[in-house]
Amino acid sequence: MELGTVSVTPWEAEAFVDYDRLIKVFGAKPLTDNEINMLKNVTEELHIMISRRVFYSHRDFDKFLEAYKSSRRCALYTGRGPSGNTHLGHMLPWIFTKWLQDKLGLDLFFQMTDDEKFWHTEEREFEYFNSLAYENILDLAALGLDHRKTHVIIDSEDIGYLYPIVIKIAKKITFSVQRATFGFTDSTNVGMIFYPTLQMAVAFLPSELFREPIEVLIPAGIDQDPYWRIARDIATSLGYPKPSQIHNKLLPGLGIGGKMSSSKPETAIYTTDPPELAYGKVVKAYTGGRATAEEQRKFGGNPDVCPVYKMYEMMFEENDMKLYERYYSCRGGSLLCGECKTELAERVARFLKEHQSRRIRAVSHTEKYLIRNKFDPPIIKRT
């Protein structure tokens, strides 16, 4: 979707975009106090990613919460295209999803799209992406997602769970819809053209597995929204509830502009980065500061365009008062970028150290997350 000079698609996205305009163009709704109060009513407290509107827009989140409150059966769905190691941007929606899972006690279906990433990337063998799917499960385990309630579908190996649904989805979607929604062209390979049916299918899988209509909520980056627009259009005609979404803004990379992305490894913090390497990346980050310390003291910096401030706001500062203090000290020129970056570098390095020791402990039990070890694939009822 083009927004002036920037574009947001599932495969390419800026971080500092006009998010309000983006949701208007996408046709989603801003998250308002109404939905936030409804959530608080159920969860009793709010995650900072909600109160700070990191998750900022939605489709039918209110209806999902109503369904949950009236004891209708609900589930969560999110995913990952394993194209490399996990970075902090990927972790952002998963951290919130874990919080929701803990608060609501729901099953989470987690899709690993090794096929998508193979079709999308030129140079690598398919096996590389499949191995990464397993490698990335370590991050889900290290985050503490409950393996009894978290079910990972690896597309290439668990296709039997999706294919009976995909067959029906594929018949409903024309190439012209795909082209208009995802920007495919005559030179796009047919794997990519077919792929969206797989990402949509997981939204309907819980209804097939539990053999009743399941209300599904998808917490994910706003860049993934195009899939859900189509999924919602076709859901009713396939006999499934429309999946609901709650969208997060994109964590910027540590360079100028752009989301944190595997395509710019020097500006991304990977969960596998040695803590000292990550420390160095943060210390070298681009900021919203002035050219010299003198100018910064005189005119102040600009946290609104600063990826370092955004890292605090979106993930690394729990305390609202401290966040505001940081914001205004930066604006007022009393906080210099060096100090602000060093503090963040320390927090990031500490987070990685702890996360990595949990990753090591997870190595022996990734199997527990696989859907194939827990559910039978949907049954095709012959007529």
Instruction: Write down how long the chain is.
Output: 383
CA distance 212 to 383: 19
Return the number of the residue (247 or 290) whose C-beta is nearest ligand TYM.
Answer: 247
CA-closest candidate to residue 246, choices 70, 32, 91: 32
Binders in 286-345 for ligand TYM, by CB under 6 A: none
Per CB under 6 A, the list member of 14, 58, 65, 78 interacting with ligand TYM is: 78
Structure-token pair, residue 306:
């600063």
Structure-token pair, residue 313:
């706001």
Contact between 285 and ligand TYM by CB under 6 A: the answer reads no
Task: Count the alpha carbons within 13 Å of 117 in the hemisphere toward its beta carbon.
Answer: 26
CA-closest candidate to residue 341, choices 314, 318, 310: 310
Q: Which stretch binds ligand TYM (CB under 6 A): 90-98, 142-150, 344-352, 360-368?
A: 90-98
CA distance 162 to 287: 44
Contact between 113 and ligand TYM by CB under 6 A: the answer reads yes
CA distances from 276 to 112, 135, 272, 308, 345 (A): 29, 22, 11, 17, 9
CA distance 287 to 337: 7
Contact between 89 and ligand TYM by CB under 6 A: the answer reads yes
Number of chain positions touching ligand TYM (CB under 6 A): 25
Return the number of the residue (37 or 131) whose C-beta is nearest ligand TYM.
Answer: 131
Structure-token pair, residue 102:
């803990």
Beta-carbon count within 10 A of 339 CB? 11
Q: Which stretch binds ligand TYM (CB under 6 A): 16-24, 38-46, 87-95, 284-292?
A: 87-95
Contact between 100 and ligand TYM by CB under 6 A: the answer reads no
Return the number of the residue (251 or 335) whose C-beta is nearest ligand TYM.
Answer: 251
Per CB under 6 A, the list member of 223, 273, 313, 317 interacting with ligand TYM is: 223
Structure-token pair, residue 226:
């195009």
Return the number of the residue (78 or 197) whose C-beta is nearest ligand TYM.
Answer: 78
Contact between 260 and ligand TYM by CB under 6 A: the answer reads yes
CA distance 91 to 50: 15
Return the number of the residue (120 or 290) whose C-beta is nearest ligand TYM.
Answer: 120
Residue 135 CB, shortest distance to ligand TYM, in Å, is 13
The site for ligand TYM (CB under 6 A) is made up of: 10, 77-81, 89-90, 92-93, 111, 113, 116, 199, 202, 218, 220-221, 223-224, 248, 250-251, 259-260
